[in-house]
Amino acid sequence: MTALTTASRSPNVDSKILSKVIEYCKKHVQTSPKPANSGAAADANSSTSTADAAPAEDLKSFDAEFVKVDQATIFDLILAANYLNIKGLLDLTCQTVADMIKDKTLEEIRKIFNIKNDFTPEEETEIRKENQWAFE
């Protein structure tokens, strides 16, 4: 049974997310570099490095547009990529979330992810003292 067959029977991945996963997989299969020929034919076609640069740029552009979705969709894509074991998609979506919080303050991160601060002011002060290096 393939990963997509498993996903189609699973409550873990809904149809909207599955269609996005399929879109990602199709694009990456279509533009992935073809295996190199061996022998004399490979020597005659040694100009593949410049030809490979265009598909790589296409994928980069596709990936950048692909992750321009709302936060809930990104998280659903992360869960689906993890469940279906699609490493490239998992890496892309996790990097997107990492970029969302990069260079943000603790308060900004709480706001982005709608996290309620359940520490008392005293507890938070103590934690900041113990982990001062992380707040520099």
For 30, 37, 79, 116, the CA distances from 87, given in Å and listed in that order, are: 17, 26, 12, 31
**What are the boundaries of each domain within the chain?**
1-32+55-102, 105-136
pLDDT for the residue numbered 18 = 96
Per-residue pLDDT of the chain (136 residues; tens, 9 = 90+): 455 555 555 667 999 999 999 999 999 998 876 665 555 544 545 555 555 667 888 899 999 999 999 999 999 999 999 999 999 999 999 999 999 999 998 899 999 999 999 999 999 999 989 998 877 7
Residue 70 per-residue DSSP state: -
Give pLDDT, residue 96.
Answer: 98
Distance of alpha carbon 130 from alpha carbon 79, whole angstroms: 33
Asked if residue 13 lies in contact with residue 21, where contact means CB atoms within 8 angstroms, the answer is: yes
Please state whether the predicted TM-score (pTM) of the whole model is above 0.75.
no
Q: Which CATH architecture does the domain made up of 1-32+55-102 adopt? A: 2-Layer Sandwich (3.30)
**Inter-residue contact 119 to 127 (CB < 8 Å):** yes
Contact 6, 18 (CB under 8 A): no
Residue 77 in tokens: 């894509």
